[in-house]
Every structure is written in C-alpha cells, then in structure tokens.
Structure 1
C-alpha cells in the first residue's frame, strides 16, 4: 500500500460503491481490479463530479497512423486532403 500525504487526501463516497474513491490533490485513484468494476467506478465518478457542480469536457482523443509507405507516397496521399 502506498502512503498518501496527510491533509490533502479526500475520500469520495458513492452509494453504488463498496469502497470510496480516493482523491489526493488533483488525482483521483480508482481501485478497480477488472473492467466491470472500472466502468462502475468511472460512472460513479462522473455522477459525483456533476453533482458537485463541475462541468465535464469532451473526452480527450488521440489519433495516430502507422504506415510502411515511403515519405513520398504519404506526401502525395496527404496533399490531396490536407491544406497547409
């Protein structure tokens, strides 16, 4: 078990969770051990944030593309759909 700093740790209780979520400064620790528990904890966290008056942002997404094509081939393909 990790030791958490005193005075900056808060327990976030929700009726649907057996154990509270742990908030340490601006980090919230989810204690799930499988996907089902993680989904449940995530949904409870969203409910807690909404009930606390916080507005939620759109989820962050990151996209990447990997190819074995040469730079010249990629440049031709991207040139038709991307404007610089």
Structure 2
C-alpha cells in the first residue's frame, strides 16, 4: 500500500512510509500475557529483549524529519530483527 500511496502522491512533495513495530514493552502489550509468555517473546528476538517505545519513536522522528526526504514508499520494520 505504501508504494501505491507514494505513487499517488507523485509531484506533491509528500512522502508515504509505514512503521511496522515488533513487540514493544507497553501497557497494552503486557495486558493479558503471563511473565513466561513475555519472556519467550523477548527471547525470540535476536537482541534478546522487547522493544521500547523510544526505539520506535526514533524511527518515526527520522521519517518525519528532512533527512528522510529520499525515503518513500517503504515499510520500515522496527522489530530488533524478530522473524516469526
């Protein structure tokens, strides 16, 4: 969808990108999960931890800034390398 949106916005000076976060340590993520489940999810990640909100926020900040003007039509996975 991002590639299509980027093409639709051609000439408007607007970029279209998507951030696809992996498991992030937030209240909503922990809701309904036992400690064992959370531990298994964290261990499945090559970085051996859950993401933090700042991990995702930094990527969003990058995309919102002028330095990302050449990034367009992308899905940026912010998941610590997690492959499920």
TM-score (norm: length of structure 2): 0.23
Relative to its length, the structure with more helix (as a share) is 2
Q: Which has the higher contact order (CA 8 A, sep 6+)?
A: 2
| Rg larger for | 1
TM-score (norm: length of structure 1): 0.23
